[in-house]
Structure 1
Amino acid sequence: MLKLALEDEEKEKTDLIKALNGLCGGLGSSEKVCGILTGGIAVIGLYAGKGEPREYYGENFQPMLSEYIDWFKEKFESTECRDIIGIQKITDENGNINYPVKCGDVLLKSYEKIQQIICKYGYEFGNRDD
């Protein structure tokens, strides 16, 4: 999710993307909370989160998070990776993560929703101050 958002801004933050790799496969390949859900929360944070100790969250930060989480639960009927993709193992015999086609579908639908939420709350998607 974050990689897509940064690409839309024509930015590259390799360290940030590396730091979030553990979200794939449901929090460290645990098949628990979906990385697309948490990745979407990170994208909202780019727009409405705080970055400095004396900074405040955007006034719509919590409503944006709530709207996304509620939509995600309703749309995919769970927040758990294993429930959403419908399999118990997402790694191959060597322990490498395999990305089922369903992950791509969830990603695209979620990314569209994130864009809608960000715009709805007055932010210009793809154009933010760092």
Structure 2
Amino acid sequence: MDDLSLRLFKFSSAGFCCAQMMYKLALEDEGSHNDDLVRSAQGLCRGIADTQKTCGVLTGGIGVLGLYGAKGNETEDANDDFQRMVRELHEWFKTEFGSTKCVTLIGERDFSGADFSYKTICAGMIQKAYIKVCEILIEHGYEYGTRE
């Protein structure tokens, strides 16, 4: 099992969902943590509020891009390339997985039940999407793992 797979297994076993895992990976790679940020991402999982609409892997990935390029306070603006990076990830995601909708990607699910078979599908998407997020950041001149 490679390092990324092991990290995802650890996060999944601890009960984190897809969008949270995208943030956990990014924060861990820069040697930091932010429980409030990870906590806030939980509502994005399983297609935003368990509705199986826009995939939490995608929204989490866009959030990670935002850590690097989006507006964060009153005195700054989003970087010029932020929206371009978001579009790149969105287009890649649609092409790579065939949809951005959770229900299409993992099938209709009752998340209150004991069927967690979707987690294997999601783990593969998280791995690919996380690598793509890193690639996009590097292609746009960001030093991945360092936001300062």
TM-score by length of 1: 0.91
8 Å CA contact retained: 1:25, 1:90: no
1:91 aligns with 2:111: yes
8 Å CA contact retained: 1:34, 1:79: yes
4+ runs deviating over 4 angstroms: none
What count of residue pairs does the alignment treat as equivalent?
A: 126
Which structure 2 residues correspond to residues 39-118 of structure 1 after superposition, within 5 A? 39-85=60-106, 87-93=107-113, 98=116, 99-118=118-137
**Structure 1 Cα separation of the partners of residues 113 and 103 of structure 2:** 18
TM-score by length of 2: 0.81
* Structure 1 unmatched runs, 5+: none
1:124 aligns with 2:143: yes
8 Å CA contact retained: 1:48, 1:58: yes
Which structure 2 residues correspond to residues 12-27 of structure 1 after superposition, within 5 A? 12-27=33-48
**Structure 2 Cα separation of the partners of residues 100 and 17 of structure 1:** 18
Instruction: Calculate percent identity across the aligned residue pairs.
Output: 41
User: Which letter does structure 2 place at the counterpart of 1:89?
Assistant: R
Q: What is the Cα-based RMSD across aligned positions, in Å?
A: 1.4
**Structure 2 Cα separation of the partners of residues 55 and 91 of structure 1:** 39
2:48 match: secondary structure:
coil
Q: CA deviation at 1:24?
A: 1.1
**Aligned match of 1:11:** 32
**Structure 2 Cα separation of the partners of residues 90 and 74 of structure 1:** 27
User: Which letter does structure 2 place at the counterpart of 1:27?
Assistant: I
Q: 1:90 to 1:40 in 2, by over 3 A?
A: farther
Structure with more helix by fraction: 2
Q: 1:28 to 1:8 in 2, by over 3 A?
A: same
* Structure 2 unmatched runs, 5+: 1-21
